[in-house]
Amino acid sequence: MMGQRFSFDVKATDGRARLGVISTPRGDIRTPAFMPVGTAATVKAMMPESVRATGADILLGNTYHLMLRPTAERIAGLGGLHKFMNWDRPILTDSGGFQVMSLASLRKLTEEGVTFSSHIDGSKHMLSPERSMEIQKLLGSDIVMCFDECPALPATDAEVAKSMALSMRWAQRSRDAFGDRPGHALFGIQQGGVTQDLRAESAEALKAIGFDGYAVGGLAVGEGQEAMFGVLDYAPDMLPHDKPRYLMGVGKPDDIVGAVERGIDMMDCVLPSRSGRTGQGWTRHGQVNLRNARHKDDPRPLDEACECPACRQYSRAYLHHVIKSDEIIGSMLLTWHNLRYYQDLMAGLRAAIGAGTLVAFVADFHAGRAQGDIEPL
């Protein structure tokens, strides 16, 4: 099995949306795919087998967090990230670039890379395209992301252009450092903010280098859904049609549906797991706050159509109780539900694209949310 190449097949299209399969030596990834985020080698509050049971084919791990603690070298010494965290299916790792920019303090950006202080203990570290490739290789990541820079917003066109040009030089260095690793993929990241010409320039630079997949980067950083969809109306089509397209850090269910309609194949977001830990449930009828007192006598499930343990085996009253009491099972059950809801949404999108009924599926999706949550008893 090892040695099998990384490949992507588009099986069907509906409008600009694509149904596909990414094949890797660690298993197939059905696209459009949603990747739960396992920041520190765990999807918080979930066992890996439970994450798999929600329907996830792939997880995302964070280079920045893992390089600081427990360190990539330690994980490599213990057999790699898959073994370390007991997840034998594909893993995508980010490059650390985005989190260095947003989380680390005292960072210094040069042509070579970024030096920064750990948010954990203040220790000094460096990330460069070469070091990021090395770390992601030590982790054993199946899909490796280029090291790039994403400018903080708001930024002028000149600042975005300068940052994009640096990211393209780093993309070439990432490609050179990655080398030839059969079965492992390297994705380039398109930058250029919300400026169409810069997006086109970035896409051309990446295509000239050549990658196994392409991410649309620099979105979901506070520009708002309208601006994001505006970029997605043209940016994915600038990238090769025969490679997967990944929208990083997205998002809410309606962001995901809109991105899939615009030709995105892969997404990741902490939202379903993070909001599960704060008592927020995502359902076909929108977001439900389980902390709300209206649930305290409610024997009905969070979502009567959901097959997850939180919905099959527990009432809204119980979920309300354990969340209000800060019981660990509250985080476990709501995270499970939210991840299952996201995966069911992806399965619905895939089925609709395959059947050529995406327009009707999307109309039903919006109608369900417009209807709102079930009435209090």
Task: Tell me whether residue 46 or residue 353 sits nearer to Zn ion (CB atom).
Answer: 46
Torsion of CA 70, 71, 76, 81, to 10 degrees: 60
Task: Tell me whether residue 21 or residue 317 sits nearer to Zn ion (CB atom).
Answer: 317
Task: Tell me whether residue 183 or residue 286 sits nearer to Zn ion (CB atom).
Answer: 286
Position of tokens 């024997």? 299
Task: Tell me whether residue 257 or residue 306 sits nearer to Zn ion (CB atom).
Answer: 306
Residue 343 CB coordination number (10 Å): 22
Taking a C-beta distance cutoff of 8 angstroms, is the pair 341, 302 a contact?
A: no
Contact footprint for Zn ion (CB under 5 A) = 306, 308, 310-311, 337
Catalytic residue (one of 14, 57, 148, 268): 268
Catalytic residue (one of 57, 94, 148, 212): 94
Least distance CB 308 / Zn ion (angstroms): 3
94 annotated active-site? yes
Residue 37 three-state SS: strand
Least distance CB 294 / Zn ion (angstroms): 18
* Calpha distance 41→69 (Å, rounded): 10
* Calpha distance 88→48 (Å, rounded): 9
Q: 208-241 burial by CB neighbour count: b if 16+ within 10 A, else e? A: ebebbbbbbbbbbbebebeebeebbeebbebbee
Whole-angstrom CA distances from 165 to 171, 190, 203, 265, 293 are: 10, 11, 11, 25, 52
Task: Tell me whether residue 187 or residue 341 sits nearer to Zn ion (CB atom).
Answer: 341
Task: Tell me whether residue 164 or residue 311 sits nearer to Zn ion (CB atom).
Answer: 311
- What residues contact 4, with CB distance under 8 A and at least 6 apart? 23, 24, 25, 182, 183
Sheet holding 266-269, edge to edge: 33-36, 266-269, 245-247, 213-216, 185-190, 143-145, 91-93, 59-61
Least distance CB 60 / Zn ion (angstroms): 22
Q: Give the residue from 191, 199, 203, 215 showing the smallest Cα distance to 265.
A: 215
Least distance CB 319 / Zn ion (angstroms): 10
* Calpha distance 98→220 (Å, rounded): 12
List of E strands, 91-203 = 91-93, 105-109, 114-117, 124-127, 143-145, 185-190
Q: 26-62 burial by CB neighbour count: b if 16+ within 10 A, else e? A: bebbbbbbbbbbbbebbbbbbebebbebbbbbbbbbb
Residue 286 three-state SS: strand
Least distance CB 185 / Zn ion (angstroms): 32
Least distance CB 263 / Zn ion (angstroms): 29
Least distance CB 374 / Zn ion (angstroms): 14
The DSSP call for residue 207 is: H
242 annotated active-site? no
The DSSP call for residue 238 is: G
Task: Tell me whether residue 102 or residue 313 sits nearer to Zn ion (CB atom).
Answer: 313
Helix (H) or strand (E) holding 359: helix 358-371
Task: Tell me whether residue 41 or residue 43 sits nearer to Zn ion (CB atom).
Answer: 43
Least distance CB 273 / Zn ion (angstroms): 14
Residues with catalytic function = 94, 268
